[in-house]
């Protein structure tokens, strides 16, 4: 499974090489593997998850990451808390009716000119059934959700690195919070 991948997501790794260090939120952190790797790169990292047991396990892994139980749909994080957000599995499991709330929360907690790195399941993924698991997206669907409030800097076809074989097909986006917000 992707959340057990110990290495930093390759798509994210390419994008953060030249970023100024800042506050990073790993949204839906699960066991915290991505948060831990981001902290090793010098970022101040908060890993959040709705699952108490996931956060408790993640806290046992390191003292270098602030792990918090949080529901992005009703987030307790202060406004403009984060320079960067990584979502590599939260958005695509939300109910359609919750996506607008998610977007409003992301806009609220992301700093001006902040960046969200979004990885979600692709409609091109044929090995996982459509009726189970995360929602699968076309690129244009993601663009439609985010384009009013974010500048889409990059979008690409990729995979979820992890233990599943073949690696599930994914979409990866780099989006900057619009100045007009």
Per the CB < 8 A criterion, the answer to whether 155 and 143 are in contact is: yes
d(CA 159, CA 154): 15
Tell me the CA distances in angstroms from 68 to 29, 64, 121, one per residue in order. 9, 13, 25
pLDDT in tens, 94-148: 999 999 999 999 999 999 999 999 999 999 988 877 777 788 999 999 999 999 9
d(CA 116, CA 153): 10
CATH of the domain spanning 2-177: 3.40.50.150
pTM: 0.94
Kindly give the residue spans of alpha helices, DSSP state H, lying in 90-168: 99-109, 139-146
pLDDT in tens, 33-91: 999 999 999 999 999 999 999 999 999 999 999 999 999 999 999 999 999 999 998 99
């Amino acid at each position: 499974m992707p959340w057990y991948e110990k290495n930093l997501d390759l798509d994210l790794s390419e994008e953060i090489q030249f970023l100024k260090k800042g506050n990073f939120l790993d949204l839906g952190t699960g066991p915290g593997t991505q948060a831990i790797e981001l902290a090793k790169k010098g970022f101040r990292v908060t890993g959040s998850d709705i699952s108490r047991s996931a956060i408790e396990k993640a806290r046992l892994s390191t003292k270098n990451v602030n792990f918090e139980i949080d529901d992005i749909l009703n987030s307790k994080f202060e406004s403009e808390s984060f320079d960067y957000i990584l979502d590599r599995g939260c958005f695509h499991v939300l109910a359609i009716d919750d996506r607008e709330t998610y977007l409003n929360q992301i806009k609220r907690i992301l700093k001006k000119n902040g960046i969200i790195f979004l990885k979600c399941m692709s409609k091109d993924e044929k090995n996982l059934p459509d009726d189970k698991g995360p929602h699968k997206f076309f690129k244009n669907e993601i663009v439609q959700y985010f384009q009013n409030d974010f500048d889409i800097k990059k979008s690409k076809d990729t995979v979820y690195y992890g233990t599943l074989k073949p690696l599930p097909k994914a979409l990866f986006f780099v989006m900057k919070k619009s100045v007009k917000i």
